[in-house]
Amino acid sequence: MHSVNIHDLAILLIEPSITQLKVIMQHLHSEGITHIEGVASGSEALASLRTHRPDLIISSLYLPDMTAVELLEQIKHDETLSQIPFMLVSSESSFRILDAVRQAGVVAILPKPYAHKDLKNALRATIEFIDPQEIDLAHYDVENIRVLVVDDSVLARKHICRVLNNMGIVKITQAADGKQGAEIFVQSQDEFDLIVTDLNMPVMDGQALIQYIRRDLGNAIIPILMVTSEDNQTRLSNVYKAGVSGICDKPFDPQTVKEMLFRVLDDD
């Protein structure tokens, strides 16, 4: 049971359009949220963050002085702000542009216009970050689960590690690409209980890493989760054929990750 409720959230809302600002505020008010500060630019948001720390930042993509991607990079590289959940609301459909946001580790990306239920689900995901509940597994002591996280994005690795830490998983080794992940895995002499990998990486991608572990090393046992923003169904089908245990979208809902961990680690 979470000790924090949706209506307890304090939100910094960044939206240059007064009309859109009012619309989003109305949706938030309908969820009982009253602690909302609205600003119109990235510089105003950063000034506010220097004096007040919200529970959640909700931002439009295109701001008068910067993009949400640029703002998010500044926030994520500031140790005092990096743990604040960030939600994007945008009509942008470009994979390249949105992928930069996904890689930085956001709780949700909502389209304009969005369904109210999508906002509510994103707010629930925010609660999971603020007030995480440790995962309870029948066959593992969660504090002793050893995880290898493989992703070329430093911000993405931090985000994945935080989600895992929130569940009580603390023994995590990181690799910057598939080749480094493969080398660490070989040197570990099967000490890992789980691998979490990205798909699109330089040197060796996630699919090649899975094929190496399953085919070249002959390890069909270790669970491998892929966390990716890839939406090409042919590529994803090939990943399943390579032997992945499960695929999560970026950004991912912590509850979805928990359910996948239950399935791959506690599967009888």
Q: What is the pLDDT of residues 186-234, one digit of tens each?
A: 999 779 999 999 999 999 999 999 999 999 999 999 999 999 988 889 9
> Chain-wide mean pLDDT for the chain?
90
Domains identified in the chain and CATH numbers: 6-130 (3.40.50.2300), 142-265 (3.40.50.2300)
Cβ neighbours, 10 Å, residue 211: 19
What is the DSSP-derived secondary structure letter of residue 172?
Answer: E
CA-closest candidate to residue 227, choices 138, 180, 159: 159
What share of the chain in percent tops pLDDT 70?
A: 98
pLDDT band, very low/low/confident/very high, at 89 (cuts 50, 70, 90): very high
Buried b (16+ CB within 10 A) or exposed e, 165-193: ebbbbeebbbbbbbbbbbebbeeeeeebb
**Looking at the predicted structure, is the pLDDT value of residue 45 above 90?**
yes
Distance of alpha carbon 245 from alpha carbon 124, whole angstroms: 26
What is the DSSP-derived secondary structure letter of residue 213?
Answer: I
Cβ neighbours, 10 Å, residue 248: 18
pTM of the model: 0.76
**Looking at the predicted structure, is the pLDDT value of residue 71 above 80?**
yes
Q: Which strands, in side-by-side order, build the sheet including 246-249?
A: 171-175, 146-150, 194-197, 224-228, 246-249
**Looking at the predicted structure, is the pLDDT value of residue 147 above 80?**
yes
pLDDT at site 98: 86
pLDDT, tens digit, 9 for 90 and up, residues 9-19: 999 999 999 99
Q: Report cis status (omega within 30 of 0) of the bond before 111.
A: no
Range in 32-41, 56-65, 253-262 the model is least confident about: 253-262
pLDDT band, very low/low/confident/very high, at 267 (cuts 50, 70, 90): low
pLDDT band, very low/low/confident/very high, at 2 (cuts 50, 70, 90): low
CA-closest candidate to residue 207, choices 174, 173, 176, 247: 247
**Looking at the predicted structure, is the pLDDT value of residue 67 above 90?**
yes
**Looking at the predicted structure, is the pLDDT value of residue 103 above 90?**
no
